[in-house]
Structure 1
Amino acid sequence: MNRMEEIIRQRKAEDDAPLCAHLYDLDHLASHVKRITQSLPSRIGMFYAMKANSERPVLETIAPLAAGFEVASLGEVEKARAVSRDIPVIFGGPGKTDQELEGGIRLGVTRFHVESLQELLRLERIAARLNVHVPILLRINLKGPFPSATLQMAGRPTQFGIDEDEVAVAIQLAQQSSHLKLEGFHFHSLSNNLDPERHLALLTMYRDKVMAWEEALGIQVTTLNVGGGIGVNYADLSAQFDWEAFTRGLEGLLDTFPAHWRNLMFECGRFLTASCGGYGVEVLDIKKNHGQWYVIVRGGTHHFRLPVSWQHSHPFDVVEIDHWDYPFPRKETGGEPVTVTGQLCTPKDVLARDVILPRVRIGDVLLFRFTGAYGWSISHHDFLSHPHPDQLYLKQGQPVLTGV
């Protein structure tokens, strides 16, 4: 984060306006993604789940390093194609419209992840009308039980995937569809798993399920998408998912996968982009209400919704800014718990709670860390019509400002 702190101090020296900016270190992003993809066994490809962050400079950085993009809307397909006309694109997510299915076909989506029997029927109808053959995976909502993680998308009632009890029906329907090519299965059961051994156990469950279906139903598939779900530890940034231990275990596990499963893939988002981002916000006010210290910043959850969405205190550093223009004393606090809030007219606009700092002053900048995923992309940008934050992309040490 030192580069980001330098940029923040530089901008404050040039401009007195309260600072509010998302910063992305594209050099770090490229290095991180390269390390992840190059350490994977050759049999597995890493797709980037664009929902985590679909800003164009981020996509352009990842595109040469990943196996392709995973998308969940036609808008994301269009963003992917704006970056590359031929990069592989896989299209998942529930509730796809006919317009999205047809638009995806016309824009060269590599394969669709079919989320329901109804979607399968509609996709067959559209493919027949266009006289094309469309590769598909069936997304299955398995019964579990699964390892614990922050979010669980399967093993319980959710809107995701085809119920495991309908696997045989879905396979039969796909095989009867003259314009669909069933290549295999898609699983995305957990999100933000931090334990490599549990993730290997999850992949073992996938292996056993598919092998059992192949034997029972007399089929052979070529492709498995084992989803994402590899997490980021926001509570302790120094204790992240042990990717090296995971890939060591993965090498041995893949030896037990049938040889005809030729195409294996992950689709990670947060794990690839979170660490490249920072959200810098200037302290506008410090006050005490009913015995509790509040630090109010230029920004809030309308720019960075992840903390309130996940109900956690997001980690940050204090970037001290010594300049003070006002003729009255500068308010500060330290040594007692503070709650960091934004400018919105709701008590839910909280970025961090009960954090003890040595010192924080009005005019200092709080730099929230690991904000490169599910930050700006999931936030309600225009609530109260506050100005949008700057978007700064650091490449080879130089920031590039873009509009939002």
Structure 2
Amino acid sequence: MNLQHLQDYLHSHAQGHSQPYHQPVCAYLYDLEHLRRRADMLRRSLPSQCMLFYAIKANSDEPILKALLNHTDGFEAASLGEILRVRAIDDSVPIVFGGPCKSDIELEGALSHRIALIHVESEHQLRRLNWIAWQRNEVADILIRVNPAHVPQHATLRMGGQATQFGIEEAQVPSLLELIQTLSNINLRGLHIHAISNNLDANTHLALVKHYFDLAEDWQQRYGLKFEWLNVGGGIGVNYADPNAPFDWENFCDGLARLVSAHQPGFKIVFECGRFLAADCGCYISEVIDIKSAYGKHFAILRGGSHHFRLPVSWQHNHPFLVLPQDDWHYPFSRPAVHNAPVTLCGELCTPKDTLAREVHVERLRAGDRVVFLLAGAYGWHISHHDFLSHPHPERLFLDN
């Protein structure tokens, strides 16, 4: 996110709100040119055998999808609604369809909208898809989503290596491979293995991908199969605790190139990144309405909060922010402020859980200043409970060049 965009936005906001009573600043800003540059950089760094898809659950707004069209190799959708969002901007871009729950209507809709690959997550889902494809006189191209028995590291969220609702237990995969050979309307194209989320360590992520390679190669050899695709999911993290120490993408891609060269797999390797691709294209900016103290602690009350930006509460972290001072003060009485002290940044909701950062040291923060939450381009607005307490929605601006 370009900070000049922030200054320009605040300047335009000040021009429009010169009266004493004004609507406080509260907005999402998304930098589309930055997003395109980042997608190009990530895609260019990958070995030629790899493809970069965008997981649109992170941010499915039309301007975001349009910005990434032709700057990624395709999109990953997790519902029919997301499929329709992609098809609204392009009728032929490749889409892969994931998610543990796919209704008959969604499976039929996936076939109708020419999905490239459907990630099958259970035997029942497989049989239903075969039945629907048979009724349509079509063949469905699929990947089996595997829940591996072993995941070689820890991460913020785990979808594999333990009992979860995601994928098919590794020990059950062989029987499913045998079943697929009897289903006339299913074409197995490969595997989907997405076991973790928000991993921050490049070396352990390489170990994870190598483990996925080993599983795929073992099953190919054992069952005489030839996979065309291995979808290794997303799972590459964003360091909210220290934005200056991001996931080492360059080191990861160097190691991945060596891994591909050593294994020479015959399949395409697909990454479906959401957070890692889109997080730093957006910020959430909120005006400080009040500064108060209670029992020796300081609180800043913001216009906005977790109903707009639920990520910090959901992940239980202090979200990174910066303070943009606002020197104008139109009230005829003193200005609440906190100096050189820790402060908790709270939203406007009637719940003590509405906090975006807790006990974070600031040099100075005053009522009327603006707080800018960085890395808010993914899983911000889109996972939030927008209409709780019926406060106004934030402005949402998509900036280009």
Partner of 2:298: 293
> How many Å apart are 1:258 and its aligned residue?
4.2
Q: Which residue of the partner structure matches residue 312 of structure 1? A: 317
- 1:4 pairs with 2:5: yes
Which residue is equivalent to 1:385? 390
Post-superposition Cα deviations, 1:305-352, rounded to whole Å, max 9, x if no partner, equal 000000000010111111111111111112111000101111000000
AA in 2 matched with 1:327:
P
> 1:274 offset after TM fit, Å?
0.2
- 8 A Cα contact 1:334 1:356, kept in partner: no
The answer to whether structure 1 residue 366 and structure 2 residue 371 are counterparts is yes
Aligned partners of 1:140 and 1:163 also within 8 Å:
yes
Aligned position for 1:87: 93
1:65 aligned partner: 71
Structure 2 residue 287 is matched with structure 1 residue 282: yes
1:347 aligned onto 2:352: yes
Cα distance in 2 between the residues matched to 1:41 and 1:237: 26
Q: Distance in 1 between matches of 2:297 and 2:184?
A: 66
With the length of structure 2 as denominator, give the TM-score of the two structures.
0.97
Residues in 1 aligned to 2:152 and 2:30: alpha-carbon distance in whole angstroms? 34
The CA distance in 1 between the partners of 2:65 and 2:383, in whole Å, is 17
Query: 2:178 matched to which residue of 1?
Result: 172
Identify the residue that residue 161 of structure 1 maps to in structure 2: 167
Match of 1:114 in 2: 120
> One-letter code of the match for 2:342?
P
- Return the alpha-carbon distance in structure 2 between the equivalents of residues 8 and 336 of structure 1: 29
Determine if contact 1:9/1:321 at 8 Å carries over to the other structure. no
Q: Which amino acid aligns with 1:139?
A: R
**One of 192, 198, 204 as aligned partner of 1:186:** 192
How far residue 64 of structure 1 moved from its aligned partner, in angstroms, is 1.3
Q: TM-score, length-normalised on structure 1?
A: 0.96
SS at structure 1 position matched to 2:34: helix
8 Å contact from structure 1 (residues 8, 280) kept in 2: no
Q: Work out whether residues 12 and 19 of structure 1, in 8 Å CA contact, stay in contact via their aligned partners in 2.
A: no
- The one-letter code of the counterpart of 2:372 is L
SS in structure 2 of the partner of residue 373 of structure 1: coil
CA drift of 1:259 comes to 4.4
Alignment of 1:28-47 (within 5 A): 28-47=34-53
Q: How far is the alpha carbon of 1:146 from its aligned partner?
A: 2.3
How much has 1:7 moved relative to structure 2?
A: 2.8
Distance between the aligned counterparts of 1:175 and 1:90, measured in 2? 22
Q: Which amino acid aligns with 1:308?
A: V
Percent of aligned pairs sharing the same letter: 48
Name the structure 2 match of 1:14.
16
Superposed, 1:219-368 pairs within 5 Å as: 219-261=225-267, 263-368=268-373
- AA paired with 1:368? F
Within 2, Cα distance between the matches of 1:118 and 1:4?
A: 50
Write the distance in 1 (CA, Å) between the matches of 2:242 and 2:266: 41
Equivalent position amino acid for 1:277 in 2: G
Gaps of 5+ in 2: none
**Alpha-carbon deviation of 1:275?**
0.5
Is the contact made by 2:151 and 2:160 (CA closer than 8 Å) also made in structure 1? no
Q: Secondary structure at the match of 1:248?
A: helix
Q: Hey, what's the Cα distance between the residues in 1 that align with 2:180 and 2:263?
A: 24
- Greater displacement, 252-261 / 107-116: 252-261
Secondary structure of the 2:142 match is: strand
List alignment gaps of at least 5 residues for structure 1: 397-404
User: Is the Cα–Cα contact under 8 Å of residues 151 and 208 in structure 2 kept in the other structure?
Assistant: no
SS in 1 for 2:204: helix
Q: Do 1:188 and 1:229's aligned partners in 2 also have CA atoms closer than 8 Å?
A: yes
- Count of residue correspondences: 395
SS state of the match for residue 396, structure 2? Answer: strand
Deviation at 1:223, TM superposition (A): 1.1
In structure 2, the residue corresponding to 1:177 is in which secondary structure? coil
SS class of match (2:327)? coil
